[in-house]
């Protein structure tokens, strides 16, 4: 897998070059430059409204950027539908509000895309789903509907659903901020296990403990620009930028 993705030679699986984006008049992403290596876990933090979600959503084209270049696994994001679909197949996404399909059972939630997009036979798709449910710790919930699960269980199903497509990259947009404190841990545990298994992850989160423990690098954003990128130790112990210091002093 790694041979193939490195075939473009750069060694980075996500590359953003001078990315700019506007919502109408509002300049929401300003000259974003950042790269993510394969198997790396990068945590994006920053105050509310700083553009973290927008950035991560640009990477699988849920939002469209207007300037600059985004390369995912060597493929450039453009209006070419084929490229978009190729990139979406390689990236899994987990949302703050889970976004499970309420009319489908857990099993159907996990198998739908496998069968329709990956064209996997039903039996294989269901085997895969059972394995993943085992992995996220809720094997017994396969035949329930999302509405019958707790928030933490729903988010773990959402992770399993994304993993079922065997993506190279997992994008997380504040996966725990809609959860009660008791449920946050179960989701973070799954994410930690995922990170340890070598998945490339780009995680927007306010869980500083998670960032400290798991992240290889931390990106700090403020009002649409990247303020600082660094290792967790550097970032939390000895931040360089004034804005970072202010932010950390407010949340810690």
Partner 1 sequence: MSEVYHRPDETFYVAPKEPPPSRRPPALTIGPVGWLRKNLFSSVSNTLITVITVGLMAAFFYELVTWSVAKAEWNVVNNTMRLMMVGLYPVDQIWRIELIAILLVFLSGLGLGVWGGNARGFFIIALMIIIAALFIPIGAEKIEPPPIRFLITPTDAIGPVVFVGDKDDTVRLSVEPIDDNAIANETSPFVGFIENSPGSSSSRALWNNAKAQVVAGTLDLTNYNLQLTVQLLDRSGKVLDEQLSTPTRRRVNFEFKLPADGWYYVQVLRDETSEAIYETVDGVQLPIAPARTLPNTGYAWIRIDGVDTMSSQVADVEQRTKTYGEVPAIQCPSAAECRRLLLEENTRFEGARSFSAFLKTQLDPFLQEIIVSLVVGFAVMLAAYSIGNFAKQSRNPSSKKAVSRVTIIGWIIFFPLSWILLSGFKDPDSVHPFLRLPEVAQSLWGGLILTIVLTFVSLTVAFPIGILLALGRRSKLPIISIFCILFIEVVRGVPLITILFMAKFIVPYFAKSMSDTELLIRLLVGLTLFTAAYNAEIIRGGLQIIPKGQIEASQALGLNPFATNAFIVLPQALRAVIPAMMSQSVSLFKDTTLVSIVGLFEFLGMIELIVNGQQIYRPYQREAYLFVGVIYFIISYIMSSLSRRLEESGAGTVRKMRKA
Ligand X SMILES: Nc1ncnc2c1ncn2[C@@H]1O[C@H](COP(=O)(O)OP(=O)(O)OP(=O)(O)O)[C@@H](O)[C@H]1O
Q: Which residues bind ligand X (CB under 6 A)?
A: 23, 26, 28, 46, 48-54
Least distance between Mg ion and beta carbon 174 (Å): 6
Among positions 14, 28, 165, 191, the unique one binding partner 1 when judged by CB under 8 A: 165
**Beta pairing class for 67-72 and 12-23:** antiparallel
Chosen from ligand X, Mg ion, partner 1, none, partner binding at 177 (C-beta under 5 to 8 Å by type): none
Contact 58, 44 (CB under 8 A): no
User: 113-119, long-range: CB within 8 Å, 24+ apart, which pairs?
Assistant: 113/161, 113/164, 113/165, 114/164, 114/165, 117/89, 117/165, 118/89, 118/165, 118/166
> Virtual CA dihedral for 204, 3, 18, 171, nearest 10 degrees?
-20
Say which DSSP state 197 is in: T
| Measured distance CA(177)–CA(160) in Å, rounded | 18
Tell me whether residue 53 or residue 111 sits nearer to Mg ion (CB atom): 53
Tell me whether residue 62 or residue 112 sits nearer to ligand X (CB atom): 62
Tell me whether residue 28 or residue 179 sits nearer to ligand X (CB atom): 28
Among positions 5, 50, 53, 200, the unique one binding Mg ion when judged by CB under 5 A: 53
CA proximity to 188, closest of 178, 170, 198, 175: 175
**Beta pairing class for 41-45 and 217-222:** parallel
CA proximity to 194, closest of 175, 218, 221, 220: 175
Binding flag, residue 244, Mg ion (CB under 5 A): no
Contact partners, residue 103, CB within 8 Å, separation at least 6: 145
For partner 1, the binding residues in 60-119 under the rule CB under 8 A are 60, 62, 85, 88-89, 91-93, 95, 97, 99-105, 112-113, 116-117
Tell me whether residue 12 or residue 98 sits nearer to Mg ion (CB atom): 98
Q: Is 171 left (phi over 0), alpha (psi -120 to 50) or beta?
A: beta
Tell me whether residue 165 or residue 227 sits nearer to partner 1 (CB atom): 165
Least distance between partner 1 and beta carbon 116 (Å): 5
Site map for partner 1, 187-226, x if CB under 8 A?
----------------------------------------
Tell me whether residue 99 or residue 166 sits nearer to Mg ion (CB atom): 99
Contact 204, 172 (CB under 8 A): yes
For partner 1, the binding residues in 125-164 under the rule CB under 8 A are 145-148, 154, 158, 161-162
* Binding residues for partner 1 (CB under 8 A): 60, 62, 85, 88-89, 91-93, 95, 97, 99-105, 112-113, 116-117, 145-148, 154, 158, 161-162, 165
* Binding residues for Mg ion (CB under 5 A): 53
């Amino acid at each position: 897998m790694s041979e193939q993705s490195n075939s473009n030679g750069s060694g980075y699986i996500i590359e953003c070059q001078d990315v700019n984006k506007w919502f109408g008049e509002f300049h929401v992403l300003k000259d974003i430059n950042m790269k993510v290596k394969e198997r790396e876990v990068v945590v994006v933090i920053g105050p509310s409204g700083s553009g973290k979600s927008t950035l991560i959503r640009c990477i699988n084209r849920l939002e469209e950027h207007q300037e600059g270049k985004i390369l995912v696994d060597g493929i450039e994001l453009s209006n070419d539908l084929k490229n978009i679909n190729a990139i979406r197949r390689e990236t899994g996404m987990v949302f703050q509000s889970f976004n499970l399909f309420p009319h489908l059972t857990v099993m159907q939630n996990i198998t739908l895309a496998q069968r329709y997009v990956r064209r996997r036979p039903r039996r294989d798709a269901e085997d895969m789903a059972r394995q993943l449910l085992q992995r996220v710790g809720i094997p017994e919930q396969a035949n329930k509907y999302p509405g019958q699960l707790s928030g933490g269980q729903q988010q773990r199903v959402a992770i399993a659903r994304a993993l079922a497509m065997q993506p190279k990259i997992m994008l997380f947009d504040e996966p725990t901020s809609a959860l009660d404190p008791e449920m946050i841990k179960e989701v973070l545990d799954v994410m930690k296990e995922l990170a340890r298994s070598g998945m490339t992850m780009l995680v927007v989160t306010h869980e500083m403990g998670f960032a400290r423990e798991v992240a290889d690098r931390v990106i700090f954003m403020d009002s649409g620009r990247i303020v600082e990128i660094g290792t967790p130790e550097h970032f939390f112990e000895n931040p360089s930028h004034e804005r970072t210091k202010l932010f950390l002093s407010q949340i810690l």
